[in-house]
């Protein structure tokens, strides 16, 4: 990234010739391009039996013999198999409605990061070989030859997409650029091209059952440690059932929750919640060391990878003889379960349709998958007053919520998390409307972009989210960003620091807040600390804080440019400044100009 305070983002529209001219390895920028996959990881994953040993910065990528025919044959196969994909190839009218909706375009200003230009990477080749216009008129019809430079450009730009689908929400035709990108990445695997970060996670998951490669003892040890931390804070002994046959429910979480911070506090919340349900209602559950991962990096690689990776959940559910499955706070786990799981596998006939035995609620939405989200389950219990909560224990947090792309646009999961947050916290504030729910901004690190080598891309792509957060921090004093995705929890740590939001804003899962508020039946001392070990606010401190807010004079309206700190009394002035100084398109200036309090 540029020197502190000097970030310049120049947004411009590409010319037609820009779109067709592929970049070369000389244009690859450090911090933006991914390291290539290693041979050992490639061979340990369910990938095509061809591996290309290339260095992205070399001119010669040593593409395998016949690579061009392989790509075109696969393209032909996919265009017949995935009809929607090739309808999207034909129907884009280049209206530009999607152009400034991609967080990577907003953060990098690179015109090839406009969604329409990203899809054009594939579309131009499709036109050349599969349409009569492209065959006859070539570049005059927006077609281009498939060359080695085009492959380099695919590698560079297809991995600068987090497959978040924000662009599709704004496209009048609903063109799903994320799926086009997915297919593009899959095409690359057929000539042995892939990036390293996702593949390491896929290979580890197939070997050990989780992306981190934790051994069964490592996972069990981690869960036991979390139970010890709970004992210190609540005085309650928590049992951790692992691989327990005949339990009612199999619980699957993203593996980041077993050891990372702040994920750990969410893990504590899960353990306390299930402990309470067993204490009060006799509901039993189990963790599985073989299905110790809900997330699925295969989803961003190939269909076969995705299928092999999530199949373990059903195999374990059958082996352990559970009735149904609950999944934890994870983004791609849920997009995957919601969109593909039931068609990727034969669901074990031992599983039942999920019915909450405590409330009688039938989760019709999970009829086919036999799997529900822990927040749906918690929301149902709260609605029926089946768990006791003390919201005041979260009074030190002023909370806002980030909708993970996969949960928002992949699943449509908006209300349950908000319902739970409102029932476990007194202070909840929404970020601006253009940055939440189906319009949510990506954390900047999705779809395999959590790799450290693409940190520049991540910080730039996460900028719109950081700016929306800064807005509610300034306006309401928000100091907790809640998210229901383990990748977000990892991504926000550097992002919030980079954009100077942490401190004062912490981030974590919703189940951490549930764990704070949950009154355990066998808890016999008053809680003094939250799950992070912070002292809880005393009653008089809460009263003082409320009075202070009420007594504060009404603020004068001012607008601040988040990129350089310049202050204006008028929003239009701020937008003009953002356009002139930072080259931010005027219709996107709400991203950088926020009301100052």
- In the complex with ligand SF4, the residue whose CB is nearer, 20 or 529, is 20
Q: CB of 301: closest distance to ligand SF4 in angstroms?
A: 16
Q: CB of 463: closest distance to ligand SF4 in angstroms?
A: 13
Of 461, 470, 478, nearest to 500 by C-alpha is 470
Q: Taking CB under 6 A as the rule, does residue 159 contact ligand SF4?
A: no
Per-position x/- string for 22-41, each x denoting binding to ligand SF4 as judged by CB under 6 A, each - no binding: --------------------
Number of CB atoms found within 10 A of residue 249's CB: 22
| Binding region for ligand SF4 (CB under 6 A) out of 126-134, 166-174, 261-269, 424-432 | 166-174
Q: Taking CB under 6 A as the rule, does residue 166 contact ligand SF4?
A: yes
- In the complex with ligand SF4, the residue whose CB is nearer, 34 or 527, is 34
Contact positions with ligand SF4 (CB under 6 A) in 56-95: 92-95
Beta strands 324-327 and 371-373 are parallel
- In the complex with ligand SF4, the residue whose CB is nearer, 178 or 420, is 178
The radius of gyration computed from the CA coordinates of the chain, to the nearest angstrom, equals 25
Q: CB of 98: closest distance to ligand SF4 in angstroms?
A: 3
* 593: its two tokens: 């100009």
Q: CA-to-CA distance for 413 and 338, rounded, in angstroms?
A: 10
Q: CB of 118: closest distance to ligand SF4 in angstroms?
A: 5
- Three-state secondary-structure class, residue 116: helix
**Which of 162, 286, 289, 445 lies at the binding interface for ligand SF4 (CB under 6 A)?**
162
DSSP states of 352-416: ---B-TTT--B-GGGTTT-EEEHHHHHHHHHHTT-S-B-GGGGTT--EEEE--HHHHTTT---HH
Q: CA-to-CA distance for 507 and 198, rounded, in angstroms?
A: 24
- In the complex with ligand SF4, the residue whose CB is nearer, 121 or 233, is 121
Q: Taking CB under 6 A as the rule, does residue 517 contact ligand SF4?
A: no
- In the complex with ligand SF4, the residue whose CB is nearer, 175 or 591, is 175
Q: Taking CB under 6 A as the rule, does residue 97 contact ligand SF4?
A: yes
Of 364, 407, 386, 357, nearest to 510 by C-alpha is 407
Q: Taking CB under 6 A as the rule, does residue 116 contact ligand SF4?
A: yes
Contact positions with ligand SF4 (CB under 6 A) in 176-195: 177-178, 181
Q: Taking CB under 6 A as the rule, does residue 408 contact ligand SF4?
A: no
Q: CA-to-CA distance for 164 and 390, rounded, in angstroms?
A: 35
DSSP states of 161-218: -----HHHHH-TT---HHHHHHHHHHHHHTTT--BHHHHHHHHHHHHHSSTT---HHH
How far from the centroid of its chain's Cα atoms is residue 424's Cα? 24
| Binding region for ligand SF4 (CB under 6 A) out of 115-123, 338-346, 478-486, 588-596 | 115-123
- In the complex with ligand SF4, the residue whose CB is nearer, 92 or 560, is 92
Task: List interacting residues with ligand SF4 (CB under 6 A).
Answer: 92-98, 101-102, 104, 115-116, 118, 161-167, 171, 173, 175, 177-178, 181
């Amino acid at each position: 990234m540029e020197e502190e305070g000097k970030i310049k983002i120049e947004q411009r529209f590409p010319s037609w010739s820009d779109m067709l001219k592929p970049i070369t390895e000389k244009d690859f920028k450090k911090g933006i391009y991914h390291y290539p996959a290693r041979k050992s990881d490639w061979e340990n994953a369910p990938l095509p039996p061809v591996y290309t040993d290339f260095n992205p910065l070399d001119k010669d990528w040593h593409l395998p013999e016949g690579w061009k025919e392989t790509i075109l044959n696969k393209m032909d196969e996919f265009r017949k198999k995935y009809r929607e994909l090739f309808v999207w190839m034909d129907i884009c009218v280049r209206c530009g409605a999607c152009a400034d909706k991609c967080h990577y375009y907003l953060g990098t200003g690179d015109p090839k990061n406009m969604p329409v230009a990203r899809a054009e990477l594939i579309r131009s080749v499709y036109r050349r070989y599969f349409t009569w216009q492209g065959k006859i008129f070539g570049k005059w019809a927006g077609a281009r030859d498939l060359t080695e430079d085009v492959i380099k450009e695919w590698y560079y730009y297809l991995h600068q997409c987090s497959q978040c689908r924000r662009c599709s929400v704004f496209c009048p035709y609903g063109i799903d650029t994320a799926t086009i990108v997915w297919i593009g990445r899959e095409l690359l695997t057929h000539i042995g091209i892939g990036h390293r970060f996702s593949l390491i996670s896929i290979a580890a998951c197939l070997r050990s059952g989780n992306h981190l490669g934790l051994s069964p003892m490592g996972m069990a040890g981690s869960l036991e440690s979390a139970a010890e931390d709970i004992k210190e804070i609540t005085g309650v002994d928590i049992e951790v059932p692992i691989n327990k046959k005949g339990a009612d429910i199999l619980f699957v979480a993203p593996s980041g929750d077993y050891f990372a911070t702040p994920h750990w506090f969410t893990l504590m919340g899960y353990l306390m919640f299930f402990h309470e349900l067993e204490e009060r209602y006799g509901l039993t559950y189990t963790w599985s060391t073989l299905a110790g991962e809900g997330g699925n990096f295969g989803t961003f690689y190939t269909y076969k990878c995705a299928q092999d990776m999530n199949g373990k959940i059903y195999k374990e559910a059958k082996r352990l003889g559970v009735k149904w499955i609950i999944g934890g706070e994870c983004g791609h786990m849920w997009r995957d379960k919601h969109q593909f799981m039931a068609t990727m596998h034969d669901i074990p006939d031992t599983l039942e349709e999920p019915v909450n035995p405590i409330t009688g609620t039938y989760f019709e939405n999970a009829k086919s998958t036999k799997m529900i989200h822990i927040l749906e389950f918690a929301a149902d219990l709260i609605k029926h007053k089946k768990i006791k909560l003390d919201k005041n224990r979260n009074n030190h947090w002023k909370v806002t919520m980030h909708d993970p792309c996969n949960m928002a646009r992949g699943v449509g999961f908006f209300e349950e998390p908000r319902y739970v947050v409102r029932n476990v916290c007194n202070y909840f504030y929404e970020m601006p409307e253009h940055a939440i729910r189906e319009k949510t901004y990506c954390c900047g690190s999705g779809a395999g972009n959590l790799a450290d080598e693409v940190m520049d891309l991540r910080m730039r792509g996460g900028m719109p989210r950081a700016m929306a957060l800064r807005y509610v921090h300034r306006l309401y004093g928000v100091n907790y960003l809640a998210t229901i995705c383990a990748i977000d929890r990892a991504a926000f740590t550097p992002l919030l620091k980079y954009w100077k939001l942490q401190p004062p804003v912490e981030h974590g899962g919703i189940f951490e807040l549930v764990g704070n508020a949950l009154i355990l039946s066998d808890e016999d001392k008053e809680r003094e600390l939250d799950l992070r070990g912070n002292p809880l606010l005393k009653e008089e401190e809460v009263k003082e804080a409320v009075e202070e807010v009420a007594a504060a004079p009404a603020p004068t309206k001012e607008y601040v440019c988040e990129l350089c700190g310049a202050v204006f009394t008028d929003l239009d002035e701020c937008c003009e400044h953002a356009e002139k100084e930072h080259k931010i398109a005027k219709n996107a200036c709400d991203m950088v100009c926020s009301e100052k309090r």
